Each structure stands twice: as C-alpha cells, then as structure tokens.
Amino acid sequence: MRIPATFACLGLLMLPPVALSTTAALADPAATPATITVSGEGTASAPPDMAVLTTGVVSQADDAAAALKANSAAMEALVAAVRGAGIVGADISTSGFSVQPRYTYPGQNNNGGEQQAPKIVGYEVRNAVTIKVRDMKALGPLLDSVVVAGANDVGNLSMTLADTAPLADKARRAAIADARKKAEAYAEAAGVKLGRVLRISEQGAMSPRAFAMPVSPDSAKMMSSVPVEAGELDIRATVDVAWEIVP
C-alpha cells in the first residue's frame, strides 16, 4: 500500500500556470528576452526505513513515594528490554514524566447542599520513552519485548524516513523534467523554441508526514506476531522554471 505524505482536494481540472512574454525581444537582442514560465511537479516514493515508538509505564499508589518507586522499577525493566532488543542508547529518550494526585469527588453534603471539596485518594506516576527503531525487522519483536517487560502505556507508532534528502532530490529532478515537458509542448504550439534556462524557483519540497497508528498493549502483542506492513512514503516537489524563447 502507499501512504500519502500530503493530501489535496480535487475540484475543477485546471492547466498549470504558464506565463508567456511576447515582447519585441526577438527583434532587439538588447531588450529583455521573451520567456516562457511553467510549473512542474515531481513525486518520489520510498518505503519507510525507521519507526518511532512511544511507550512507558503508568503506576498508581496511595502515596507519591510508593508510586514513584514502583514506576522507577518498572521503567528500569522496560529500558533494559529495549536495550536487549538491540536499540542503542542514543535512540532511547525520555519523552514524558509526571506525578499527579488522584482525586475523588464527593457529592453535595446533606446540610447546606454545598459541593464538598475533592479529596486526594492516591498518586499516579507516568514515565514514557521514545524509541527510534532503525531496523524495521526488529519492530515486531521489540513490541513484544516492551509489553512483556511491563509497558502499559503504548503510544503511537510512526513510520518515517531517517534521511529525506535523497528522496527530495529525486522529486526535484522529476519536477524539472515535468516543467520541461510542459514548456516544450507550449513552445511547439506557439511555433518557437526553448533557449537557456533563466530562472528556477522552488515552491516547496513536501517532506513525508510520518504515518502514525495508535498502539495499545493488546494490539502490540498481536503486531509482534504479525508482519508490520510499512507501505511507502511520498515526497512532492514543485518548481517554477523560466526559459528564454528563441526563434
């Protein structure tokens, strides 16, 4: 399957913007040259080569110290499992930590009907790490490892590219080729020829948006035994190119 990086709404079909300059430049070489300017688009696709997973542990206890102690022990086991799956330390980073009280909300009292103040009944500690998986084949076993190690808070799993530059350059070359093809068609229809390129401007090279899927502990268990289909990501480039018109 293909996972689009960008989405567009399609309405009326319109020709790409074209600018034709029909001055007396051909008769007077010193004048500003006549030009033809078109927009070109190019797309390049590649399968993701990196996954980004956020996972962690949520612990609850009657007091903050007990919740923190339990959470710290569970996180140590979780990080050890991640390292055991072959993930290096540079690809493991803490992405969230919090200690919050848990409240109970009593109803109205029987005397004046006033709302009673909420009461603290315990504490909750959340600790999460973000993991970069550079070997896509290791993703399934890693999901299994973190769940077995005690992860009970598994966030989104994102598919992306570690380096988008080569794919972006491929999309740019495709965009230039598309612009030339359009310009040659307009030049032929107008009875002129294309000369040298006078200007190239890039409207943008759209990097692939990371494809994210929600992952729960239960679904992580299933994904560990089922191949993860990464699909493909697209990069789109758009350029404006101006050619000199020659007779």
Q: Which residue has the higher pLDDT, 14 or 72?
A: 72
Query: What's the pLDDT band for 181 if we cut at 50, 70, 90?
Result: very high
- Asked whether residue 170 carries a pLDDT value surpassing 60, the answer given is yes
Q: What is the pLDDT of residues 42-92, one digit of tens each?
A: 999 999 999 999 999 999 999 999 999 999 999 999 999 999 999 999 999
What is the C-alpha to C-alpha distance for residues 69 and 61, in angstroms, rounded to an integer?
Answer: 10
Question: Over the chain, what is the mean pLDDT?
Answer: 81
- Asked whether residue 195 carries a pLDDT value surpassing 60, the answer given is yes
Least confident of 118-122, 217-221, 223-227: 223-227
DSSP one-letter string for 43-92: EEEE---EEEEEEEEEEEESSHHHHHHHHHHHHHHHHHHHHHTT--GGGE
Q: What is the pLDDT of residues 87-106, one digit of tens each?
A: 999 999 999 999 999 998 87
What is the C-alpha to C-alpha distance for residues 139 and 143, in angstroms, rounded to an integer?
Answer: 6
Q: What percent of the chain has pLDDT over 70?
A: 73
Query: What's the pLDDT band for 18 if we cut at 50, 70, 90?
Result: very low
DSSP one-letter string for the chain: --B-S------S--PPPEEE--SGGGT-TTSPPPEEEEEEEEEEEE---EEEEEEEEEEEESSHHHHHHHHHHHHHHHHHHHHHTT--GGGEEEEEEEEEEEEE---B-TTT-PBPPPEEEEEEEEEEEEEEE--GGGHHHHHHHHHHTT--EEEEEEEE-S--HHHHHHHHHHHHHHHHHHHHHHHHHHT-EEEEEEEEEEEEEEPPPPEEE---HHHHHHHHHS------EEEEEEEEEEEEEE-
pTM above 0.95, yes or no: no
